[in-house]
Structure 1
Amino acid sequence: MEPPPLLLLTLLHLLLLLLLSSTTFSATTPTSLPPTPPPTHSPTPTTTPTSPSSSSSSSLDPKQVRALQSLNIPTSKDPCTQLHSNTTLCDAAKPFRHLLSLTLANCSDDVALSFTALKSLSTLQSLHFLNCPIAPIHIPSDLVSSLHSFSAVSSLRRLTGVWLARLQNLTDLTVSYVQVIASGPFVILGNLKKLRSVTISHANLTGNIPKYLNLNLTHIDFSGNKLHGRIPSSVTLLENLESLNLSSNTLSGEIPTSFGDLISLTNVSLSSNSLSGLIPESISAIPGLVHLDLSSNQLNGSIPKFLSDMKSLKHLNLANNNFQGVVPFNVSFISKLEVFKISRNSNLCYNHSVLSSKLKLGIAPCDKHGLPMSPPPAKEDSSADDSSDSDYDDSDEDSSSQSDHHHGPSKVVLGVAIGLSSIVFLIIFLILLSKWCG
C-alpha cells in the first residue's frame, strides 16, 4: 500500500501544534484580570447661574430672589423646594416665604456678597460657606442679630476675632482652614454667651485657652493652632461637654487632676502637644468615654491599669510619650479596642507570658526585672487602621502560599499537555504505519 499523502501528515502535525499551544496558553494565563479602576467624576458646583426672568414662579420674597440671583444661585424653580441641593431652607410665611438657611459651596471667583444682598437676607438663621475663598464680608446688623449658626470652611480668606465676636446670638460656630487674627480665643468667645458648639481649627489662632467658658458648651475643637500655656482647671467645670479636641498645639503642663469631672465626655484628643506628668486617675470616672488620644506628648510614669476597666473605651492612643514599666493590659482588653497604640515609648515593655509576641505593639518584651529586653521593633501598633485584618504577622506564610499557587499549577498542566500530545501523536503514527504496511 502507498504511503499516506503528505497533506494528511501535514494536517495532523498542525493539529498537534494547535492542541499543544492552546493547552500551554490555558496553563499560563491568569484566571482573573485586575479590576478596571472606576471612572472619576469632577465635582459639580452647588450653585449655577439662572435667568432672572424665571423668578416669577418663585414663592420666595422677591427681594431675596434678587439677592440669590446676584449670588448665581438657581431660582428657576422655587428655591424653597430645591431639596436636592441642600442650598436653602425657608419658612412658611405668606404671601411670601423667607430664607432661614443658606449654604454657599464651591464659589466661583466672580461671586461677591454685596451689603445690599446680605441686607435682603436678614431673615437667615444659618449661613454656611464651604470652599468659597471670597473677600471678607460686612454683615448688616439685622443679619448679625438673626444668625444662630455660622460656618466658614476654606472660605472668606481671613477673619478677625472682633468680626466673629459680633455674632452674639450664635449657638454654633465653625471656622476651619481660615486664618483668624485674634490675640486668643477669649476675644471671640467672651462675647458669645449662647454658644453650644465651637470649632476654630487650623486657623493660626494664638494665645491661651480661656479660663472662663460658657458652661453650656457641648463641643470644643481648637485643633491645629498655636495655643500655648496650660489647660486651665476651669475647663473641667463644663459638665455638658461631650467632645474636646485640643490636638496639635503647643500646650504644656499637666492634665488637670479634676479632668474626670467632665462626666459627659465621649471623645478627647490632647495629642501633639507638650503635656507632661501622669494620666489623672479621675479619668476613670468618665463613664461614656469612647475615644482617648494622648499621643505625642511628654507624659510619663506608668500606664494606669484603671484604663482597662473603662467599659466604653474603643480608641486608646498613648504612643510617642515617656511612659515606663510594664503594660498593664491583657489580651481580652486589647482585643475589644478598635484602635490601640503604645509604640515609641522606649522605657515601656510587655509581659510576654501575658501578651503574645505576635501582637504588633511596637515595644519590647520585659525581662525579669520589668525592663525592656531589647530595642522596640519598628512595627506599628495594632489598630483599626492597619492594612492587616489580624494582630498576627503571617506575611511570610501568605507570600509563600501565593507564590506556590501562582507558579505550581502552570508547570504541572504544561507537562501533562505535552505528555498527552505525545501519546496522541504516537497512536496516530502507529495506526497509519499499520495501514501502510498491511
Structure 2
Amino acid sequence: MDHKHSALLITLFLITYPINIYCFSPHSPLSSPSPDKSPIKTHSPSKPSRLSPSPSLPSSPSNPSTSLSIHSELEPKQSQALRSFNISTTKDPCFQPSPHNATLCNSEKPFRHLISLRLLNCSDNVEMSTTTFKSLNTLQHLEFLNCPVSPFHFPDELIASLRSFTCVNSLRQLTGVWFSRLKNLTDLTVSQVMVNTPRPSIILGNMKNLRSVTISNTNLTGTLPKTWNLNITHIDLSGNRLKGNVPNSLTLLSDLEFLNLSSNALTGELPSSLGDLITLRILSFASNSLSGSIPESILKIPGLLHLDLSSNHFNGTIPKFLTEMKELKYLNLENNNFHGVIPFNGSFIKRLAVFMVGGNSNLCYNQSIVPSKLKLGIAPCDKDGLPGSPLPDSLLDLSLSSDDSSSVDNKVGNESSHKAQTPAAAPAPVKRDSRHELSKIVLGVAIGLSSIVFLIVFLVFLSKWCG
C-alpha cells in the first residue's frame, strides 16, 4: 500500500472517529435510552459491545452503565431483612416489577433503600421482630396482608419515617396505644384485626396529618371522636361496636369525600348540618339505630353519588328533594319506619343504578306515576294514600329487557288500566266458559259411542233375521 492510500485511510479515520464518540456520548439527546430499554441490558457483560467503556475506567456520572449498575443495588442489611421475610433477593428487589410487587426503592447512592414493603400471606417461619425492622427505617409505606404473626414494637426510626400503614388480617390482637405511636401517618388501614381500645380517639388523637382512615371489622368500641384533622378526606369505621350520637363536629370536615359508619350501634338523629359536607361522594349510616327524618341540608351536597340509610329507625315521609340530587346513583332506604307515598316517579327510579325501599310497611307508591312492573317491595297506594293490597304476581314477574322495554311498558299500562275497570270477579266467566266447552266434548263422545252400539245391535239383529 503506497503512502497516498495510507494517508487517505488515516484521514478518513480521524474524520469519522469524533462523530462516533459524539453519537454515543451520554450527554447527546440521541444516546438517551428509551424507558423500556436499560443501558445495562444494552451493554451486557456477557456480550460486550464494541463501543462499551473499558472495565478499567473509573465509574462516574458520565458513565451511565457503571453508575446505574451500582445505583440498582439494595443496601445489604435491607437485603438480609427481606430474606428473613422469605422474599427472594436473587432478582434485584429494586427492579420493577419486584417479586410479588412487594418492594419499591428510592434512587440513593451508592445503595438504594426500601421506601415501600408489602408482606403477603406470611408463613409460620417468618421472622419478624423489632431488631429485623431496625434496618428498614427508610420505609414510608408498610403493608401486612394475611400475616397473623405476633405483634411487636416498631423501632422509633421506622415510626418517624412511616406515612402509610395497612394491616389486614394480620398481627393478631393489637391495642389502641400500639397504633397511637404511628403519629406521622397520613393513611391508616386496619381491617379484620381485633383492636383492644376503649375509644377510637386513643388511636387517632396523635395523628395530626391523617388524610385517610379505615378501621373496619375490628370490634372497635366507644364513641366517635369529637375532633378530627380538618384535611381528612376518607373515614371508614364500619363493622364495629361504636355507640352514641353522630357529633356535629364531624360536619366541619369540609374536604371529606367518603364517610362509612355502617354496622355499628349509633343512636339519635343525624346532624342538621350534615349538608355542610359539600365534597361528600359516598355516605353510609346503614345498620345502626338512628332515628328521625332525613336532614334537608343533604340537598346542599351537589356531588353525592351514594346514600345508604337502610336498617335504622328513620321515620317521617321520604323527602321529595332527593329527586333534585342529579348525581345520585345509589339510594337505599329499606327497613326503616318511613310512611306515606314515595315522592318519586318512574324516570327518577330508572335513573338510579340501585334503589331499595322495601321493609317500610307504612310506605306505598302512586300507581299513576310509578310503573307497576318495578319491584319496589312495597304496596301500591289506595285512594286514601295508604298501602293497599299488593299487585298480582303475574304483574310483578314481568321481565324488562333493553330490546322490548317500550312494549312491556305499554303492556303493563294496558293491564293496569283494564284492572281498574274490571271487577275482582271478572276471571270467573272465563272458568265457566271452559267448563261449558268440556261438557260439549263429553256429550259428543257419549253420542258417538251410543251410535256405534246401536249399529252393532242392528247388524246382529239383521244377520239373524236374514238367516
TM-score under structure 1 length normalisation: 0.73
Letter in 2 for 1:80: C
Compute the displacement of 1:109 (Å). 1.3
Hey, what does 2:454 align to over in structure 1?
Answer: none
1:206 counterpart SS class: coil
2:350 aligns with one of 295, 313, 335? 335
1:80 counterpart SS class: coil
1:120 aligns with one of 118, 135, 140? 135
What are the residue-to-residue correspondences of 1:187-198 with 2, within 5 Å? 187-198=202-213
Report if the CA contact (8 A) 1:151-1:175 is conserved: yes
Aligned partners of 1:307, 1:79: CA distance in 2, in Å? 52
Aligned partners of 1:388, 1:253: CA distance in 2, in Å? 41
Aligned partners of 1:96, 1:388: CA distance in 2, in Å? 64
Hey, what does 2:336 align to over in structure 1?
Answer: 321
Tell me the alpha carbon deviations over residues 210-233 of structure 1, each in whole angstroms, 9 at most, x when there is no partner. Answer: 111111110000000000000001
Aligned partners of 1:308, 1:90: CA distance in 2, in Å? 50
Hey, what does 1:162 align to over in structure 2?
Answer: 177
Q: Structure 2: 5+ residue runs without aligned partners?
A: 1-69, 412-467
Compute the displacement of 1:114 (Å). 2.1
Report if the CA contact (8 A) 1:349-1:372 is conserved: yes
CA RMSD across the alignment = 2.4
2:275 aligns with one of 255, 260, 272? 260
Correspondence 1:110 to 2:110? no
- Percent identity, aligned pairs only? 63
Report if the CA contact (8 A) 1:132-1:156 is conserved: yes
Tell me the alpha carbon deviations over residues 141-176 of structure 1, each in whole angstroms, 9 at most, x when there is no partner. Answer: 000100000000011111110000000100000000
Hey, what does 2:450 align to over in structure 1?
Answer: none
Hey, what does 1:80 align to over in structure 2?
Answer: 94
Compute the displacement of 1:58 (Å). 6.6
1:226 counterpart SS class: coil
Rg comparison, structure with higher value = 2
Report if the CA contact (8 A) 1:275-1:298 is conserved: yes
Correspondence 1:368 to 2:383? yes
Structure 2 vs 1, CA of residues 295 and 83 (structure 1 numbering), >3 Å: closer, same or farther?
same
Compute the displacement of 1:78 (Å). 1.0
Hey, what does 1:140 align to over in structure 2?
Answer: 155
Letter in 2 for 1:65: S
2:255 aligns with one of 215, 236, 240? 240
Structure 2 vs 1, CA of residues 87 and 367 (structure 1 numbering), >3 Å: closer, same or farther?
same
Aligned length in residues: 335
Aligned partners of 2:196, 2:250: CA distance in 1, in Å? 23
Compute the displacement of 1:375 (Å). 6.0
Report if the CA contact (8 A) 2:71-2:107 is conserved: no
Hey, what does 1:272 align to over in structure 2?
Answer: 287
Correspondence 1:99 to 2:114? yes
Tell me the alpha carbon deviations over residues 82-112 of structure 1, each in whole angstroms, 9 at most, x when there is no partner. Answer: 4152210110000000000000011111112
Aligned partners of 2:71, 2:255: CA distance in 1, in Å? 46
Q: Structure 1: 5+ residue runs without aligned partners?
A: 1-55, 398-438
Structure 2 vs 1, CA of residues 63 and 183 (structure 1 numbering), >3 Å: closer, same or farther?
same
Report if the CA contact (8 A) 1:57-1:77 is conserved: no
Structure 2 vs 1, CA of residues 278 and 176 (structure 1 numbering), >3 Å: closer, same or farther?
same
Aligned partners of 2:90, 2:174: CA distance in 1, in Å? 33
Letter in 2 for 1:73: I
Letter in 1 for 2:73: S
Aligned partners of 2:234, 2:111: CA distance in 1, in Å? 36
Hey, what does 1:151 align to over in structure 2?
Answer: 166
Compute the displacement of 1:374 (Å). 2.5
Aligned partners of 1:146, 1:335: CA distance in 2, in Å? 50
Aligned partners of 2:211, 2:189: CA distance in 1, in Å? 11
Structure 2 vs 1, CA of residues 137 and 262 (structure 1 numbering), >3 Å: closer, same or farther?
same
2:133 counterpart SS class: helix
1:374 counterpart SS class: coil
TM-score under structure 2 length normalisation: 0.69
Compute the displacement of 1:378 (Å). 10
Report if the CA contact (8 A) 2:238-2:262 is conserved: yes
Tell me the alpha carbon deviations over residues 321-355 of structure 1, each in whole angstroms, 9 at most, x when there is no partner. Answer: 00000010011111110000000100000001111
Aligned partners of 2:115, 2:392: CA distance in 1, in Å? 57
Report if the CA contact (8 A) 2:72-2:95 is conserved: no
Higher RCO (CA-CA < 8 Å; seq separation 6+) = 1
Letter in 2 for 1:339: V
Structure 2 vs 1, CA of residues 57 and 108 (structure 1 numbering), >3 Å: closer, same or farther?
farther
